[in-house]
Amino acid sequence: MARVLILDATYEKMREAVDAVFERFPLDVAGKTVLLKPNMVGMYEPETHANTHPAVITALVERLRQDGATVTVGDNPGTSGYGAVEKSARISGLMEASLGAFENIARESRRVKLIGHDVEVNISRKVLETDVLISVPKFKTHVMTRNTGAIKNSYGFLVGGDKARLHLAYPRYPVFSEMVTEVYRLRVPDLIVMDAVVGIQGNGPQNKFLYHAGKLMASDNGVAMDSVMSRMMGMKPETIRSIEYAHELGLGPIAAEEIEVEGDASRLKRFRRPVPSIPQRFSGTWIMAFFPDIGRPRFDVDEYVCTSCRSCADICPAGAITVEKKGAPEYDYEKCIACYCCMELCPQTALHLHETFRTRLYRRLGYM
Ligand code: SF4
Ligand code: SF4
Contact 240 CB / ligand 1 (< 6 Å) = no
Dihedral angle at the C-alpha atoms of 167, 170, 174, 180, nearest 10 degrees? -50
The protein residue whose alpha carbon is closest to atom 2 in ligand 2 is 342
Closest CA to 137 of 219, 256, 44: 219
Tens digit of each residue's pLDDT (9 = 90 or more) over 242-265: 999 999 999 999 999 999 999 999
Give the Å distance between the CA of 59 and the centre of ligand 1: 33
- 203 pLDDT more than 70: yes
Tens digit of each residue's pLDDT (9 = 90 or more) over 281-292: 565 566 656 665
Report the chain's mean pLDDT, rounded to a whole number.
90
In this structure, the number of other CB atoms found within 10 A of the CB of residue 8 comes to 14
Compute the C-alpha angle 350/353/354, nearest 5°.
110
Give the Å distance between the CA of 290 and the centre of ligand 1: 31
Give the Å distance between the CA of 292 and the centre of ligand 1: 25
Q: Does residue 304 or residue 33 have the better pLDDT?
A: 33
Query: What atom in ligand 2 is closest to the CA of residue 331?
Result: 1
Name residues whose C-beta falls within 8 Å of residue 154's C-beta, 6 or more positions apart in sequence: 37, 135, 180, 183, 184, 186, 187, 189, 222
> For position 278, what pLDDT does the model report?
60
Contact 336 CB / ligand 2 (< 6 Å) = yes
Contact 321 CB / ligand 2 (< 6 Å) = yes
Domains of the chain: 2-262 (3.40.50), 278-364 (3.30.70.20)
The answer, as to whether pTM is greater than 0.85, is: yes
